[in-house]
Amino acid sequence: MSERLQPVRGTQDLLPAAMRRHRAVTETARTVAERFGYEEIATPIFEFTQVFARPIGETTDIVMKEMYSFADRGGDEITLRPENTAGVVRAVISNGLTQSLPLRLFYQGPMFRYERPQKGRFRQFHQIGAELIGVKEPQGDVEIIALGAEVLAALGVLNNTVLELNTLGDPASRAAYRDVLVKYYKSHEAALSEDSRKRLERNPLRILDSKDADDRKINAAAPPFADYLTDAARDFFARVRDGLDLLGISYQLNPRLVRGLDYYGHTAFEFVTTDLGAQGTVLAGGRYDGLMAMMGGPEAPGVGWAAGVERLALLLAEPPPAPRPVALVPIGGEGEKLALKLAQELRRAGFAVDLAYSGNLQKRLRRADKIKARAAVILGEDELKRGHAAIRDLDTGAQSEAPLASLKERLAPFR
């Protein structure tokens, strides 16, 4: 039995030290998002499969290979969410929020994909994300990228990343480019990977995103998308770049950048680092103007991003440790009773308090040292007869007495 009592492959237990890093990422992101006017939303971790399958794209790796899908006991096809943009848009439609556009929404939580685990990548992983829904102007793209940059800056990792930027054009641009791209790939079809041959008819732009070595060689000579952009798409992208320049947000153009989800158009972007090996993308997103209508809602533009909490946590400097507690050390029956009551009062006053429930004086003091308590409050029989407690500074070893009535005030330096 003991051999089986392990986490499922691709999952992990987040022990307190790891959770401090995760909390540093999510709480920092939430605080920054609030300054930009983004409110937090939470959607279910599972949805009807079609919420993800059609918007993400039937030929994407996520839908074809990675989704955790199953029929529940009622016969409904259910999928654990592999990403959260489609879930957020579904929530906007379901709750009638399209009457309140624009919406600025932030989320955080677990996602699920069946893929090969590697550094910073798990089958249950966590994301933070932001969605700006209802703004069609390129200023929306600038805002969402600026929010992502501010989150990375607040985490202290922005300078370790490069913002890569591309345009996927408007529908007319993509239609024109698709025809050219299909013709080009047809001439190299025999050398394409099996996955790319499947994509050739349904979504040839996704071949540009292929990680297969032979596909990459073919992609290197593919016709450039920029040659087929409409004037409107070219102008939109120019205004996004102008906005980023105005804010001093540096970027590199990457004409091969194609986001892995089918609902993207116009701006696509990734913040990439070399500090995590092959898995270098830490925050990425783009514009998805057709997504809401595809899901049965009204026509409404959108732009957003998501970031992997595990990957960002790997880049963080060591976050602050948990607050050092005050250890209560009662001696005798009366001390035990008082300690239980005193612990509650001190916690309500904002102190972190540790209370062991057994052991003599020396054993309890050793525990206080082990948990790195800042101070020990010794409730001995002699002290209690006089209405006092002994306070020991566990960093210096200095010890003094204080009246029980003024204990909170005397402990204030150790809060």
Is residue 277 over pLDDT 50? yes
Chain-centroid distance of CA 169 in Å reads 27
Mean pLDDT of 400-415: 91
Q: Is 414 helix (H, G, I), strand (E, B) or coil?
A: helix
The separation between CA 294 and the C-alpha centre of its own chain, rounded to angstroms, equals 26
CATH architecture of 326-414: 3-Layer(aba) Sandwich (3.40)
Is 414's pLDDT higher than 50?
yes
Query: Token digits for 316?
Result: 């963080």
Band of the pLDDT at 255, cuts 50, 70, 90? confident
**At 391, is the pLDDT very low, low, confident or very high (cuts 50, 70, 90)?**
very high
Alpha-carbon distance values, 153 to 315, 316, 378 (Å):
12, 11, 45
Question: Strand, coil or helix: what is 72?
Answer: coil
Quote the pTM value.
0.87
Model confidence over 175-213: pLDDT tens digits? Answer: 888 889 899 999 998 899 988 888 887 778 878 878 788
What is the torsion angle, in degrees rounded to the nearest 10, for the CA atoms of residue 157, residue 160, residue 162 and residue 163?
0
CB atoms within 10 A of CB 271: 26
Confidence of residue 103 (pLDDT cuts 50, 70, 90): very high
Run of H or E residues at 29: helix 16-35
Q: Mind listing the pLDDT tens digit for each residue in 313-326?
A: 999 888 778 889 99
Q: Is 339 helix (H, G, I), strand (E, B) or coil?
A: helix
Q: What is the DSSP letter of 24?
A: H
Q: pLDDT value at position 310? A: 93
As a whole number of angstroms, the distance between CA 139 and CA 135 comes to 8
3 state SS of 168: coil
Task: Tell me whether domains 2-170+230-315 and 326-414 share a fold.
Answer: no
Q: Return the pLDDT at 279.
A: 63
Domain spans of the chain, in order of start = 2-170+230-315, 326-414
CATH fold of 2-170+230-315 reads: BirA Bifunctional Protein; domain 2 (3.30.930)
Average pLDDT over residues 268-272: 95
> For the CA atoms of the chain, what is the radius of gyration?
28
- Residues facing residue 69 across a β-bridge: 79
CB atoms within 10 A of CB 9: 10
Q: Of 49-58, 205-214, 226-235, give the range with the top mean pLDDT.
A: 226-235
pLDDT(388) > 50: yes
Per residue in 114-140, pLDDT (tens digit) is 877 676 678 999 999 999 999 999 999
DSSP track, 195-234 = HHHHHHHH-GGGGGG---HHHHHHHTTSPPGGGG--HHHH
Q: Does the structure show a pLDDT above 80 at 267? A: yes
Question: pLDDT band at 1, cuts 50/70/90?
Answer: very low
User: What's phi and psi for 42, nearest 5 deg?
Assistant: -130, 130
Is the pLDDT at 62 greater than 70? The verdict is no
